[in-house]
Structure 1
């Protein structure tokens, strides 16, 4: 099996080393291609689950496990993984619906999913506010309301609740779902365009990204400022994920298989690692050219800095090269917790936000030593795994009893969650 086969998963049994058959009439290929119905991509589940765990750890106060998250060793972090896989998954699921059932049906299914995410966001917002308010009142510590960004809600709840429903007001750690909602709202147009001109669609996405940077476009937030994740910039990663799912990864498989790509990716990741070392060991910054530092900083997360985007691309290129879809480890029980969490990403993400504040409170009020930090982090991960297992168990029972019929075309769980 070649590296290109590992990237695309397109090896056909019995064809390795076979001589070419007689020339056949050339058939025009569709603009986009999709995996077979029911085909599950466990790598999506695995890395989305990993992203959820890393996001949870990053939301806690810095501790020992924080050093195991990728943000300490390069420019990108778990958010890039989550958004890319979300775009890939959305196109994987709803792209087929658009091809087989048309634009209207696919759009209806997408809007239904958007509504589910929106309801989850509102529910999480309500629980999060109640959690913070209860802790701040019970322990007479108003700093919690200020630190978690709900002071404006307590001052003007009538206005703030409306702004929250409009996604303009969000407490700390609740920025990802609003971004996801906006990107999913744009998905029908993205898929409609990719159905006809996938490469042009990706190019237009890159143009919008460049225009956003050039003219400083952003979504305003309440009571002031802007969104922590600018959808006008982060759409590039989402669209790129969709483009890869709809045949882009297959078309660039030879580029990904090239040793040149591999070594460029390794060199970039090593360079990024050195730059991050200078954040913790300032003496190393003396070896960096001043002009490079002036050009590079700040590495903006809000507008998805190009250094973050390319760092993610380098990581992705190495991942698909060294982790083929047929890798036996994907069936290992040791990776099962990650895969389960990735298969139920919406529920586990919401749970992670709730657990992150609970952990923050325990560390602030009870104990904040290294042992307690590690215990809180590991306990949160175990709870996320347990809840994911319960959800999977319930769905299996419901399927067996006939209470729920799965549709391979419109089921977001099939490709790693919604």
Structure 2
């Protein structure tokens, strides 16, 4: 081992101060090739200024050496000087052995700047000039998948997978599975997810596998995968909703509710878990829990209209009209609105004999529900009971236009004539 190798080894073994001091001493007596090696290691260790100084010194001697431009460009990127890096890479001649590497690095830079088409052009040019370079294929696949063009990434991942299971530290089968799933090819994706987790069970891949199995309607498989993820990483909040839904699809409602309760313990502010727990509790007949979970969901997000509507409907079925009014008016006080709020308030205030308010709500609701036979019938009878015979007749006539089979309304109109 020569002195430079010995100094490098010292640094990498943890004797950093001793190794760096030795390298500093050796720089003045090193060959240009050795200086290049030192510069590479300085850059690798994060001493970018030291690396930059050596590379600039070498470029003064070798102004046409593309490899030096590439290394200096990498240094400039690390120093957040992307434009300078692009300028350096542009100076590399097409016949230089480093030109393809420069194209790939430029592609990364342009992608970072959001210039996806330019990045693609650079990579396609590099692929055209290279002889079956998997790194370029991988870069293209990653570019397309990161831009949401998963259908374009699939052939590249497949081609790479024929020869390599892993590239740049990434499991290709996992990437391919994600791209297939993203294009709706759920069943096709499953074996690639299987292959990926047989090599490495990471949370991200397991979650993608579980979601894909769920979307493919393989619910028992989804339960198996999500359960494995829960054991591996119980804080992976997103799994609980899907696992609960998979149990529900299999008719295992108690298990579904149990999973949701576990999820709420992990993430108490997840409104979707509270809402889902309410819906499953309703199916299980746990009516006391339904209200609890719905109120918690609305408490987390007063703008969660779907939960508010379900809570209002639940309270209406319980004939708790005061609670309906209190709930809806509180939510509307936050500036939230849904047309069903007006109908529910109208009905509740009518039941509470707050007729004037009920009329106002019915009239506002009419704007939204004037094509609903159920609403028109309810509104018409309210108007009739409130002494507004002419207006009631108009509403009942509109109802008959929409639903001529309502013979009892036709008879009522004859009596009112």
TM-score, normalising length: structure 1: 0.20
Task: Tell me which structure has the larger Cα radius of gyration.
Answer: 2
TM-score, normalising length: structure 2: 0.20
- Relative to total residues, which structure has the larger helix share, 1 or 2? 2
